[in-house]
Amino acid sequence: MAGNEFEDNAARWRVHPGKKVHLGDIDTRSKAGAPGNKEVTSKVVEGLVAQLGEWQTRLWAEGSRSVLMVLQAMDAGGKDGTIRKVFTGVNPQGVRVASFKAPTPDELAHDFLWRIHKQAPAHSELGVFNRSHYEDVLIVRVNELAPEDVWRARYDQIRHFEETLTAAGTTVVKFFLHISPDEQAERLQARLDDPTKRWKFAAADLDVRKHWDAYQSAYEDALRETSTKDAPWYVIPADRKWYRNWAILQVLLAHMERLAPEFPPEEEGLEGLTVV
């Protein structure tokens, strides 16, 4: 697939800077642009995973730039599954995954970006944030953990933070995995029904679910306020896991091809050497 096709597909999910997003108008079960049904698309995904692995090898070898993938979603939105599937073909040495839970007392004693910045990928790394600094304009807002003048000011602080990352050579790509309340209910119930998955369920998940509309509004504002040219948001229809994986790979490969990392030049004088 040519690079411009990746770009064209990625454009369908991109949030343009300052544009109001109406999540209720976005079909969470969309199959738009997919190369075929579940079986066909899943086969295509295997090839895309291999391509991502090849680009990540170049990024690791080049050693001068990095990529940060931010994943946000409602509970059971598919963040863990995305990481498992999309990064199947990468070299673990060059990938850093950070999951952000409730902040510790030490983290609360610092500014909200302190714990985030420490996990940003170094040059050559492909970083993944499973939840992120956006929790501080989502859960903090919905649960009223800080006054509005505090969390609203964070939009600007987040934009500046991401500008700092991009200026230092990090490509920032942000995904909101958009699922429906019905799909979330099915996935949460599946966790309860399967003893091997029950560890992923918390009774608090049901309390969060009661605030679905408030979270959707918080996400809509965050998407509008913080999707920028250099750190864009993509809203990925995620009820169908196979489509979600295909869509995310379209976006990542579009950015990788634009970045185009290269292997460093070989050391002079290697031609003709023989290993004995």
pLDDT tens-place string over residues 18-73: 999 999 999 999 999 999 999 999 999 999 999 999 999 999 999 999 999 999 99
pLDDT bracket for residue 10 (50, 70, 90): very high
For the chain, the average pLDDT equals 95
Q: What is the pLDDT of residue 268?
A: 86
Q: Which carries the bigger pLDDT value, residue 193 or residue 4?
A: 193
Q: Shortest CA distance to 189 belongs to which of 177, 200, 175, 173?
A: 200
Helix axes 38-62 and 241-259, enclosed angle (nearest 10): 30
Q: Which CATH architecture has domain 3-259?
A: 3-Layer(aba) Sandwich (3.40)
Tell me which amino acid residue 149 is. D
pLDDT bracket for residue 2 (50, 70, 90): very low
Handedness of CA 12, 154, 219, 251 (dihedral sign): positive
Checking if the pLDDT of 137 tops 60, the result is yes
* Cα–Cα dist 137/152, whole Å: 7
* Cα–Cα dist 223/235, whole Å: 9
> Is the separation of the CB atoms in 235 and 173 below 8 Å?
no
Report the 3 state secondary structure along 85-153. Answer: HHCCCCCHHHEEEEECCCCCHHHHCCCCCHHHHCCCCCCCCEEEEECCHHHHHCHHHHCCCCCHHHHHH
pLDDT tens column, 195-236: 999 998 988 889 899 999 999 999 999 999 999 999 999 999
Q: What is the pLDDT of residue 77?
A: 97
> Is the separation of the CB atoms in 216 and 227 below 8 Å?
no
pTM: 0.95
pLDDT tens column, 245-267: 999 999 999 999 999 999 999 88
Q: What is the pLDDT of residue 3?
A: 46
pLDDT tens column, 149-199: 999 999 999 999 999 999 999 999 999 999 999 999 999 999 999 999 999
* Cα–Cα dist 36/158, whole Å: 38
